[in-house]
Amino acid sequence: MMDRLAVDDVVTDYAGAVDDGDWTAYRELFTADGRADYRSAGGIEGEAGQVAGWLAQSLAVFATRQHLIVNRRVRFGVLEHDTGDTARVRADYLNPMRLTAAGDRGAPDLECGGRYDFGLLRTREGWRLREVVVHEKWRRTQERRPVGVTG
């Protein structure tokens, strides 16, 4: 049960780091060889530091981000020929974001949803991400009208 809670905390910390733009915290969630794959969402695949740089640049256009990671299915295992424990998490996500538009309260929103596959490894420092794979299933934008405008 303690491992389940610790793994859940890593997934929650991942969402918080991305939403808050805390790229140092994002990198620290990964093992030294950790990788992330955002290609299904139009992004890149690579080592965690490289992907953090890409995320920082790509997400800078959003004033507000909020990952909702739900339906978390956690499975534990042991690496072959290794004493390290592993975990796999499959979880659905909904990610509403508000685009930045200086002085424009009518900026469009962007929402997307899909599924994450997280691979984790127990290390001396605790559970860390070895891989994150995003499977975006849908995306939409919605034009927002300034407050008080109808029609």
- SS3 sequence, 89-120? EEEEEEEEEEECCCCCCCCCEEEEEEEEEEEE
DSSP letter for each residue of the chain: -HHHHHHHHHHHHHHHHHHHT-HHHHHHTEEEEEEEE-GGGT--EEEHHHHHHHHHHHHTTEEEE--EEEEEEEEEEE-TT---EEEEEEEEEEEEEEE--TT-TTPPEEEEEEEEEEEEEEETTEEEEEEEEEEEEEEEEE--PPTT---
Residue 55 contacts residue 29 (beta carbons within 8 Å): no
In percent, the amount of the chain with pLDDT more than 70 equals 84
Q: How far apart are the first and last CA of the chain?
A: 53
Q: What does the pLDDT read at residue 102?
A: 53
Share the mean pLDDT of the chain. Answer: 89
**Residue 106 pLDDT > 70:** no
Averaged over 99-117, what is the pLDDT?
77
pLDDT band at 36, cuts 50/70/90? very high
pLDDT band at 100, cuts 50/70/90? confident
For residue range 112-140, list pLDDT tens digits in order: 999 999 999 999 999 999 999 999 999 99
Residue 11 contacts residue 69 (beta carbons within 8 Å): yes
Q: What does the pLDDT read at residue 16?
A: 97
Classify residue 133 as exposed, middle or buried by CB count within 10 Å of its CB (0-12, 13-18, 19+). middle
In percent, the amount of the chain with pLDDT more than 90 equals 74
Choices 3.40.1280.10, 3.30.1780.10, 3.40.30.10, 3.10.450.50: CATH for 2-142: 3.10.450.50
For residue range 9-27, list pLDDT tens digits in order: 999 999 999 999 999 999 9
**Residue 103 pLDDT > 50:** no
